[in-house]
Structure 1
Amino acid sequence: MDEVAETASVSKQTVYTHFASKEALFLEFVHALVGAAGDEIRQRLAGPETGRPLADYLADFARHQLAIVLTPELMQLRRLAIAEASRFPDLGRMLHKMGPARSIELLQAAFRHYAALGQLQLDDPEEAASNFNWLVMGGPVNDAMMLGPEAIPPAARLEAHALECVRIFLAAYSPPQGLTPGSG
């Protein structure tokens, strides 16, 4: 707290006036960092209502998600949240709410749109959104978490991974060939 006060050029008492504890200050920091990453994805990604093809939407989502999440800072924060989950459960909940849960919510809305157009066949948009999110994030995030920043793949590898995730997802959730909305 002394360092925070010094950096902000205020007294420690002023810091405690705004934040009841070190934990509260840290949660606010996490909220800002992860919230900004989620906001960036939403700002960069044009929605499906623009008429863009489903495969393009999915590929853009995957590219943006990977580029924004796979940073040394966010990987370090994930490690910390996991390590401290039993002592600070609010940290893990906040990280999940501001990160994966927001992405899955964004995907759900898009999947409902594409399903209404007959471009996706799914019973549960939330499950499909979770499947796509973790298909994209699972391997690269796990590697970066366990092996450190040097395990973050180069851009070309991330691009290939994003496109393969789109291919797999579409193989699982595209309507059977020849069926149109209302004909099945």
Structure 2
Amino acid sequence: MSLEKDQVFFKNFSIVVGLLGLMMVIFLIAAMIIGDIDYAGDARDDKVAERTAPVGEVRADGEAMPEQKTAAADTGEAGASDEPRSGKAVYESVCMSCHSGALPGAPAIGKAGDWAPRIDKGMDTLYDNAINGYQGDGGMMPARGGDSSLSDDEVKAAVDYMIEQSES
């Protein structure tokens, strides 16, 4: 009886070890096909260092900082020029994350009922809340939608764009 139990154990053990080996082979083949696994970690460390690099530095010696290009100018992203972005461009890059209808309390683009009570308070109030931020019962609006690089005109253009898209 003991010999029979040992044979069953070794058979099951062999199956488990064989399946683990098969899984490792499949994993390695997939890794070679995808080519995204970096066993040394050097390339991944460089990417992390690039993403977490400081955006500026402080000089305490009184000397002026040399002029630096902005990240947007380096990559050719929107906002790299001196021209203000259109309301649609600002909406798509900043405002859409909250005003697409995904965030409760944020008036959704295309829904006139969401915007009507805000418009009734006056456009100056609406612009002021968008530029300086607003904390109310319905939620919170961060100043400039959380993007401090936006000019007043760009914020106003985005507000105008959202209202135009929401008029019935």
TM-score category of the 2 structures, normalised to the smaller one: under 0.3
Larger relative contact order (CA 8 Å, sep ≥ 6) = 1
Q: Per residue, is there more helix in 1 or in 2?
A: 1
- Which has more radius of gyration? 2
> What TM-score results when the alignment is normalised by the length of structure 2?
0.26
> What TM-score results when the alignment is normalised by the length of structure 1?
0.25
